Amino acid sequence: EVNTVQSGCSSCPAGRHKAGSDNVAGLAASCSNCATDWYSAVGAETCLSCGDGSVTDDLQSACSQCDPGKFEDSSTVPHTCADCLRGWFAERGAVMCEHCPSGFAVDASKSFCAGCSPGKFEHERATCKNCPADYYSDARQADCTSCGVGSTVRDNKSWCGSCAAGQYDKDKNAETPCEYCEVGYFQDATRETSCKRCPAGYYTSGPGAVTCTPCLAGQYDDDSKAATPCVLRAAHRTFC
């Protein structure tokens, strides 16, 4: 075993490598710095290159992979780990960032893309935003779709439902629920914005009617209001 103290030799420090020649492995008469983006441990005879997606520390003693959301920027000397741009992501040890596909947005760490949930849309592939008023969307959508009149958004804007028969879109606002036709009115179609008034001699027994009920024989609409039931006709009397 070689006595390094007696021989006057010492190990090359980290970030340097053996540059001279002597008879003791790992010991050298002189040491040279590792090239940029190369590294070495203490006593190394040669320097090693960092793998793709990795950079050296300040002492060039070790390599470490770029964190998620960062990439190896080879345009700098030495190479550094740089942040991905808005709307882009990278896994650990990446050499470049990737763009999220349409309908997806990067998470807070910029390490992966996640699909926008129903009722939201992708904005600049960086965030998922709520659909505007009167609009809805399925999952992983880049845009929202208008409900249109005669319908209303349902379940946190995840789908649009038409107003059923007996109902109507009173204010033509898909953000508000469909309302039932008032007493004396009916609606036999779907996706409508108004109700129809019952004709004379007809009435409805309550709100939300899909049709009107005719007065029975011997009855009549005494006040011309379809909101009230028909009444019995009075018996006619004849006087001599």
Greatest CA separation for the chain: 155
Mean pLDDT, the chain, whole residue set = 85
54, 72 Cβ separation under 8 angstroms: yes
Tokens encoding 57:
């520390």
CA–CA gap between residue 45 and residue 38 (Å, rounded): 13
Long-range contacts of 32-39 (CB under 8 A, 24+ apart): 33/60, 34/60, 36/77, 36/78, 37/78, 37/79, 39/14, 39/15, 39/63
pLDDT at 226: 60
Q: Given this model, what pLDDT does residue 240 score?
A: 36
pLDDT-derived band at 217 (thresholds 50, 70, 90) equals confident
Give the contacts of 27 (CB within 8 A, at least 6 positions apart): 2, 4, 7, 9, 10, 11, 18, 43
∠ CA(36), CA(38), CA(44), 5° rounding? 125
- Per DSSP, the three-state class of 8 is coil
Q: What does the buried/exposed string (b/e) look like for 128-137 if buried means 16 or more CB atoms within 10 Å of the residue's CB?
A: beebeebbbb
d(C-alpha 201, C-alpha 228), whole Å: 11
The residue ranking higher by pLDDT, 219 or 101, is 101
d(CA 200, CA 221): 7
Amino acid (1-letter code) at residue 62: A
Model confidence at 86, in pLDDT bands (50, 70, 90)?
confident
Residue 208's nearest CA partner among 228, 177, 187 is: 187
Evaluate if residue 7 carries a pLDDT over 60: no
Element (H, E) at 4: helix 4-7
**For position 94, what pLDDT does the model report?**
96
- Determine what percent of the chain is predicted with pLDDT higher than 70: 84
Q: What is the mean pLDDT of residues 106-122?
A: 92
pLDDT per position as a tens digit, 188-215: 999 999 999 998 888 898 999 999 999 8
Q: How confident is the model at residue 176 (pLDDT cuts 50, 70, 90)?
A: confident
Share above pLDDT 90 across residues of the chain, in percent, rounded to a whole number: 57
Of 151 and 3, more confident:
151
Each residue of 22-76: pLDDT tens digit?
Answer: 545 555 568 999 999 999 999 888 999 999 999 999 999 999 999 999 999 999 9
